[in-house]
A and B are shown apart, each in its own frame.
Chain A
Amino acid sequence: NAGVTQTPKFRILKIGQSMTLQCAQDMNHNYMYWYRQDPGMGLKLIYYSVGAGITDKGEVPNGYNVSRSTTEDFPLRLELAAPSQTSVYFCASGQGYNEQFFGPGTRLTVL
């Protein structure tokens, strides 16, 4: 099993550009999550999904969108990139009882 995979690993965007961060898991987990990590701030939940076709906002959803068309994939969309979205983004998946398995992360810089 590859576990949770994320692409790309690094990306630099200009202000106003858009991009999609990809996340896939091969563990057949129902739950998937997107977090952002900023220095000294821990991880903040952006969006989560409890199954294909079901998504909901987390703590910091503004400026992001998600979709979940399959169990395996949970892409995160940035429509109009802003410097405040410079961060490291982690995708995670789980199957209940709050236990989550994390991907390696995407480091995004918006200039």
Chain B
Amino acid sequence: AQSVTQPDIHITVSEGASLELRCNYSYGATPYLFWYVQSPGQGLQLLLKYFSGDTLVQGIKGFEAEFKRSQSSFNLRKPSVHWSDAAEYFCAVGADSGYSTLTFGKGTMLLVSP
């Protein structure tokens, strides 16, 4: 069965600084990988996804992520963080099971300091 690890429970970044959120997955085949963002009291919004092809994927709100098969990682990055980016971020992996289910990590809470 697949699994996702987000090693950082909380991260604090200064506004304007760069950001990297870590995600490691466990899955035997080529995974479908996702990053979602959840603002307080809201549902989850899809930031970006990787299915195949170019290992660097661009998403909304200036985010990008890089798939590294050798490291089983799919880290999320942003060159300059804005205060509005403060939220919880979830990495998820999808299995090629035909049912399109997702396995989520436990999330990383991003705090942005002025």
Asked if chains A and B come from one complex, the reply is yes
Listed stretches A13-21, A63-71, A76-84, A90-98; interface member: A90-98
- Closest A residue by C-beta to B49: A99
- CA A101 to CA B49, docked complex, whole Å: 13
B9 / chain A contacts, CB cutoff of 8 Å = 40
Of the listed residues A31, A42, A45, A96, the one surrounded by the most CB atoms of chain B closer than 10 A to its CB is A42
24 CB contacts below 8 A, A to B, read: A31-B99, A40-B107, A42-B105, A42-B106, A42-B107, A43-B104, A50-B100, A58-B101, A94-B100, A96-B100, A97-B32, A97-B94, A98-B34, A98-B92, A98-B95, A98-B101, A98-B102, A99-B46, A99-B49, A100-B46, A100-B102, A102-B36, A102-B43, A105-B42
A48 at the interface (CB under 8 A from B): yes
Asked if A33 and B101 sit within 8 Å, CB to CB, the answer is yes
Ranked 6 nearest A-B pairs via Cβ: A98-B94, A102-B43, A42-B106, A42-B104, A102-B44, A43-B104
- Closest A residue by C-beta to B46: A99
B95 / chain A contacts, CB cutoff of 8 Å = 98
- CA A92 to CA B34, docked complex, whole Å: 15
- Closest B residue by C-beta to A31: B100
Q: Which residues of A contact B (CB under 8 A)?
A: 4, 31, 33, 40-43, 45, 48, 50, 56, 58, 90, 92, 94, 96-105
Contact of B45 among A40, A41, A56, A102 (CB under 8 A): A102
Asked if B100 and A100 sit within 8 Å, CB to CB, the answer is yes
A42 / chain B contacts, CB cutoff of 8 Å = 90, 104-107
Asked if A98 and B100 sit within 8 Å, CB to CB, the answer is yes
Of the listed residues B34, B41, B101, the one surrounded by the most CB atoms of chain A closer than 10 A to its CB is B101
Given contacts A40-B9, A97-B51, A99-B49, contact A90 B43 (CB under 8 A): yes
B49 / chain A contacts, CB cutoff of 8 Å = 99
